[in-house]
Structures are given as C-alpha cells and as structure tokens.
Amino acid sequence: MKDQQKFSLIDGLFSSQDSKEILTSIYSSKIQFHQRKNFSTEERFGKADETALNRIPELKKNIERILQILEETESSGLNLEIKADITINFLQS
C-alpha cells in the first residue's frame, strides 16, 4: 500500500447559498463528532477529552469566518469555487 492516499471531497462551483449549506453541514458534523467523543470519554473514564474540547472552538471559529466571507459575497452574485481534499498518510506508531 502507498504511504499516502488522496480523495476529493468537494470540487466545484457553488452559489453562496449552496456553499453555506455544504460547509456548515461538514463543520457541524465535525463539531458533533468531537462533542460525542468528549461525552463518551467522560462517561467511560470520568475525564474530558482534551483534544476534542480544544478542537471544537477551532472549528466554530472557522465556520464563523466562512459564514462572514459568504455573507460578504452573497450580494455580489458570484459563484464560489470550493475544493477540499482528504489526504491519508500511513505512519508507524
């Protein structure tokens, strides 16, 4: 197997509204993942998952910035090109 695999998640032109829908959905899903992970860790081990708790504010800050950008471009009528790739690297532990 190769040391790296790459997949295209998003690759296209979108209206501001479609961009907002796509990106908020992805970020919301990722935030919920970390919230559930933290809840699970607290239930099983009685302590918070620091990685998850640190990641949630970062994701929220990113989505706030994205929404601000989309709001600024919404009235322009411009389409937005969005590209997002997933890269998987295989590392020795």
> 4-40: per-residue pLDDT in tens?
999 999 999 999 999 999 999 999 999 999 999 999 9
Please indicate, yes or no, if residue 19 is contained in any of the structural domains: yes
CA dihedral 52, 57, 62, 64 (to 10 degrees): 140
Q: What is the Cα–Cα distance from 56 to 47, expressed in whole angstroms? A: 17
Residue 9 lies in a domain: no
In a domain, 22, yes or no: yes
Question: Could you list the residue range(s) of the whole structural domain that residue 38 is in?
Answer: 14-75
Report if residue 50 sits inside a domain. Answer: yes
Q: Which long-range contacts (CB under 8 A, 24 or more apart) does 54-61 make?
A: 56/31, 59/27, 59/30, 59/31, 59/34, 60/31
Q: Residue 8 falls within a domain, yes or no?
A: no
Instruction: Report the alpha-carbon distance of residue 51 to residue 61 in Å, rounded.
Output: 16
Quick check: is 70 in a domain?
A: yes
> Does pTM surpass 0.85?
yes
DSSP annotation of 57? H
How many domains, in total, are found in the chain? Answer: 1
